[in-house]
Structure 1
Amino acid sequence: MTTWTWEGREKVFEAGEPEGALWAADSWFVSDGEARAFGSHRRRFNATARELGFADPSSEDFWAALIDLIPPSGEWFPRVEIIGDDNPVLGFRVRPSPTRTNELRVWTPPFSDPRQHPHVKGPDIGLLEDLRARARAEHNCDEVLLVDEQGLAVESATSSLLWWDDRTLCVPHSDLAQLTGITSSLIQAEARRRSIDIAFRLCTPADLSGHEVWLVNALHGIRRVCGWSGMSNPSPAPTWFGEWRTWLEAQMEPI
């Protein structure tokens, strides 16, 4: 991993790792200079940065310099961030891409979503990584499903939740405290283009049993849930997964 800090006066990134609290972050998958919905990731981070009083991410200088730091070949998972304690700064990390997978097992903890900032990507990353480590060590699961105080499924630690009810694509209701998912939004837009019904629903983890369930994010694209810790009913054979994963993987464009 290589890290830089943005020098706003000179409008350049300087080598060095910023330290302190993580206020905001955004990541995307890059393969040989291509990414999915890079502009959407950029806009999401810009909006958060403006709320925190940072103007530089809205400039072309910042993003042009950032793009120049991403190697033109290979698979990467870069992250832009706002980090620091008393005087936060803009940082950038170029990280090799983790191994990508297409299915996973999921643990639902016996407690509600512990995040303090569910609408902002970044501040709760450390907490969520600890939960995922617990899921792996104690439950042989890859991911954690977050539920609210009423026991309603919201999203996972790293991904947006989607599921199918026959031919209807289901999405957690907007009243739930969740991050705006770039990959989920892409899929929903394509579903509308195909005239597929979309339903925004409130459901418990038990309600997902017997349905084709996806967890989607920028790194892995679409992953299907192949098993649930503590849930007796197995996940069904996928109906939509192969077609949609192929479609999503084809949405890569030069950044």
Structure 2
Amino acid sequence: MTVWVWNSQESRFEEPSEDVGTWTLLAADSWFVEDSRVRAFERHQVRFAYAAGQVGVGARVTAEFWASVVEKIPKTGEWFPRVDVLEAAPGGSRMLAFRLRPAPPRTRELRVLLPPYSDPRSRPERKGPDIALLERLRKQAREEYDCDEVLLLSEDGYVIEGATTSLLWWDGDTLCAPDPALGPLPGVTSAVILDEARARSIPVEYHRVKPEVLIRHEVWLVNALHGTRQVKDYVDESG
């Protein structure tokens, strides 16, 4: 993985002068690239600009910034790039950064952990601040339960989304998504799928669902990297 920071005065990326691994991640967005092709890239751009605006650097997410991001991505191969807003120290300077990452292996199905705790995120409305926490949860799920993903639950036990995925499920011929009042992260891939369902006259509804009900349906967990994956199995951590 290679990381560059954005020099907004000169409109170019530079190698960081210090280890950005020690900086705080305030916002992020990532997408899948295959031979220069990206699904709904403009939606990722809008989502990141909005998140950057929440932390005071939205004005730096310019057309020049995005053009430079695109230039950094090789024209061939599979990639999973990420843009960040980083803070050098609490209350200190904030930087835009770009990470060029090879895409990890992609899968079509996944095994999911049902945790005994509610959503532990500190900033669930914004992608970025809780990435490290969620990766620790997923690592624990892999090592202890051979699971690929962890569901995130509201305090009253409704499923919000996955640690790195948006939730969709089928109730007969109706495609369902979580009640927006639960606060799921606005997912680009789920939005594309829901738009396509409406375009095909497939009914779309929003509901609150608990795990014991969800497991009786066909469930999709979706994101930009893997697209649509169907849940093949569940593990209940509470036993």
Question: What amino acid does structure 2 have at the position aligned with 1:74?
Answer: G
User: 1:27 corresponds to which residue?
Assistant: 30
Q: How do residues 182-221 of structure 1 correspond to structure 2 at under 5 angstroms?
A: 182-221=188-227
Cα separation, 2, equivalents of 1:92 and 1:102: 28
TM-score scaled to structure 2, two decimals?
0.94
TM-score scaled to structure 1, two decimals?
0.88
User: 1:92 corresponds to which residue?
Assistant: 98
Structure 2 residues not aligned, in runs of 5+: none
Question: What amino acid does structure 1 have at the position aligned with 2:86?
Answer: I
Per the alignment, in what secondary structure is the counterpart of residue 100 of structure 1?
Answer: coil
Whether the 8 Å CA contact 1:24–1:48 is kept in 2: the answer is yes
Structure 1's consecutive aligned runs of 4 or more residues displaced over 6 angstroms after TM superposition are none
Q: Percent identity?
A: 50
Question: What amino acid does structure 2 have at the position aligned with 1:125?
Answer: I
Cα separation, 1, equivalents of 2:76 and 2:152: 35
Per the alignment, in what secondary structure is the counterpart of residue 206 of structure 2?
Answer: strand
Deviations 1:32-71 (A, max 9, x none): 0010000000000011112211144442111111110011
User: 1:134 corresponds to which residue?
Assistant: 140
Whether the 8 Å CA contact 1:25–1:122 is kept in 2: the answer is yes
Give the superposed CA RMSD: 1.2
User: 1:3 corresponds to which residue?
Assistant: 3
Cα separation, 2, equivalents of 1:27 and 1:69: 14
Cα separation, 1, equivalents of 2:118 and 2:105: 29
1:14 and 2:20 are equivalent in the alignment: no
Q: Would you say how many aligned residue pairs link Structure 1 and Structure 2?
A: 231
Whether the 8 Å CA contact 2:29–2:128 is kept in 1: the answer is yes
Cα separation, 2, equivalents of 1:53 and 1:134: 34
Whether the 8 Å CA contact 1:56–1:62 is kept in 2: the answer is no
Q: How do residues 171-190 of structure 1 correspond to structure 2 at under 5 angstroms?
A: 171-190=177-196
User: 2:166 corresponds to which residue?
Assistant: 160
1:37 and 2:43 are equivalent in the alignment: no
